[in-house]
Amino acid sequence: MQNDISVNDYLLSVDNWIAGVGSQYFEPLTNGCMLSEEVGEVNRLLCRQYREQRYKAGEEPANFHRALADELSDVMFVLACIANEQGINLAEALVRNLQKKSARDANRYRQRESKE
């Protein structure tokens, strides 16, 4: 598989993987539970790396960014499964979402000028 892949190509690759390995997608609620689990794993890493929690003995990854990338990829995989199972064109949805955010939040996060 190539290193740079479009969203549509990724969705198709996930669909092909499911067809070859599992033959069908999990039920929607199972996928929702799996998504929560994967997001929790991302949060666990972030919390231990940047907040008050610390890694348990032997738990700290040798490479934090590689571990985080792996967990984020797990999140993307489950999102692709949900989109495919529900018949959602995730590539189109991502474009619409970015357009919505661009229009709605155009000035929301800019530094405000100080009034002196």
On whether residue 109 sits in a domain, the answer given is: no
pLDDT of residue 65: 96
Range of 75's domain? 7-104
- For residues 94 and 7, the answer to whether their CB atoms sit within 8 Å is yes
Band of pLDDT at residue 112, cut at 50, 70 and 90? low
Percentages helix, strand, coil for the chain (3-state, rounded to 5) are 65, 0, 35
Q: For 17-35, how does the pLDDT look when each residue is reduced to its tens digit (9 = 90+)?
A: 999 997 899 999 999 999 9
Distance CA 103, CA 62 (A): 41
pTM (two decimals) = 0.84
> Is 114 a member of any domain?
no
CA distance 71 to 86: 23
**Residues 6+ positions from 60 with CB-CB distance below 8 Å:** 48
Residue 1: what pLDDT?
60
Greatest mean pLDDT among 31-40, 56-65, 103-112 lies in 31-40
Whether residue 42 is contained in a domain is answered as: yes
